[in-house]
Structure 1
Amino acid sequence: MNQLSGIRLTFYGYRSILCFLLLSFSMVTHARTADPLPSWNSGPVKTAIVKFVKETTQKGGRHFIAPAKRIAVFDNDGTLWSEQPLYVQLAFALDRVKALSPRHPEWKDTEPFKSVLDGDLKAVMAGGERALLELVMASHAGMTTEEFAQIVKDWLAEAKHPKHNRRYTELVYQPMLELLAYLRGKGFKMYILSGGGIEFMRPWTEKVYGIPPEQVIGSSIKTKFEFQGGKPVLMRLPEVDFIDDKDGKPVAINKFIGHRPIAAFGNSDGDLQMLQWTTAGDGPRFGLLVHHTDDKRETAYDRQSSIGRLDKALDEAGQKGWTVVDMKKDWKRIFPLKKP
């Protein structure tokens, strides 16, 4: 074999290897991008989501929406992560009351604190919104915003769900994580719009959902600027500032976002007004409700539940043409296999 033939053979060999690598890379890339929602079963729900995203992001299309107006809002509890048998933030408040009880001996004889310390959750819930608000005020105030954020992070690092025995941040819904990633990749800007506390969510939403603190909207208590040891701080006060639930959600959208979203995702009657406001706008709109129907892999509940009740919104979904996720039917997997 002469030198020229050797060079040609080497060239063709390298070219074959290069072609093989490119083909392999193409096949892998195609496999990764072919289905943006792999944890969603094929059917009307998945089809509706993909159709809406394609129509609103295809340049030159009749329903194209500019990236600046591709705003989607998501409820958190029951929509992005588990909310049964009780809201995660309520579980946090109960644990905080127990941790703080040595400083408050009077709580042993004062409701609703007595029931918390006795482990009587039924009695706590029987106290209604007033009792729950009192627990939140006692457990969430009296500290700086930085101190509260650290307390939340420390609690989430250790606390586990009573049924699944996993950390709460591991009980986010895998199909919804995929949906967030899908929309993000298509130029959507996502906001969390939750009845839960804004400063309870902000310390972890970016790591878990990819949604930064400035795109988290929630209920809040008042804060006060002051100095401690010559350092400026924000102190959390035991006073309600804003409740981001029900008709408060459209108000929050107008106040904090300034644009009507084109898509809204919820799971309960607390999200009804958010979906009404979003889908009443001009142009293409999308409303989706997560219906908890899977009692085996998660918890089945709707019209009669005291937590995350889905009643009026479920009826209106049929009238307005909103998409309803049947969790048992439409989701291949509920929770991530690994930590998000």
Structure 2
Amino acid sequence: MGKFKLKLSFVIVSMTIIVVLATTSVSIWSSYQNFNDILMHNKIAVRENYVKEISAITKIYVQEKFQEPDMDKAIEPYMEQVADKLLDEMSIPFSAFIKSITVPLLILFITVMAFAVWIALKIVQPLKKISTDFEEGEAVRELEDINDWYDEAHSLKNVIQNMITCSESKISDLTNQLNLDSLTGIPNRRGMDQILNELILNRVPHSIVLIDLDDFKSINDTYGHTIGDEVLKAFANHMQVNIDKRGMCFRYGGEEFMVILPSTTIDVAIELAENLRIKQALLDTACGRPVTLSAGVTAFAANIKTSNQLITIADQALYKAKQSGRNCTCVINECSEKIIK
């Protein structure tokens, strides 16, 4: 069972509700606490003023009563003055109320904004990482390290991973189609040129064997191209089995093939070519008659600069083998030349 992933819409709505509820609750509680503190301070101040005013009025009233004992002095006017003053002092100024709640609300606002920025960064981070890795062509395994903690990022990562895997597979298939011969399934001349150029560029000692199936045109003319194709496929398989891991086999074109033998001396190359030639002459074929081959063998030398130079020498050797009656091997190595039958 796959790991549970949160929906981004669910995350955003849930966080919004939580933030609104938390903000509202904290604001109400903070306002209540501040307002209650204001009332308490105001109550204490009013009480102190009340005591002071009553004491002062009482003192004044007693003094006047002693000075004029015959006068009937009523205390009600004095008490009305005290009551009016106390009522004025009990009203809470709006500026005081605003001042008392501004700081808590400001702190709360900064906290909420910081939390919102943190959530936004957490949401953007996997998307940014996916985008960066995709633009830089990172491998699929690099995308696996991305923390796709919500469903949308997880789905996007999976789509990109599948797309990269599919693209790599298609590229691999196209590369094989470009470098492999469609009939025989062995590498074609494009792959051959790449290998030869690398060997010559790096000055790696090697030998090559250029092979041509003898009188192949008559097979096509007599038995048809379908039989001719079967002969070519059978020879390609026979060649690969005999060369094995000692070299690389290529279809040069038509009925011509090439074997590249890295780090191999010309004597070993001659031995392999002769072994292949002798076995090929004894094989049963799709056309029902023996199909022989001629081979031209040469080796890399210090004066060789390009693959075309080396192929030209091998082609000259193959031509001389054909001129010598076919079903033989001709070797051209620097200044020496010999025919092997």
> TM-score when scaled to structure 1?
0.22
Larger helix proportion of the pair: 2
Higher relative contact order (CA 8 A, sep 6+): 1
Asked which structure has the greater CA Rg, the reply is: 2
Larger strand proportion of the pair: 1
> TM-score when scaled to structure 2?
0.22
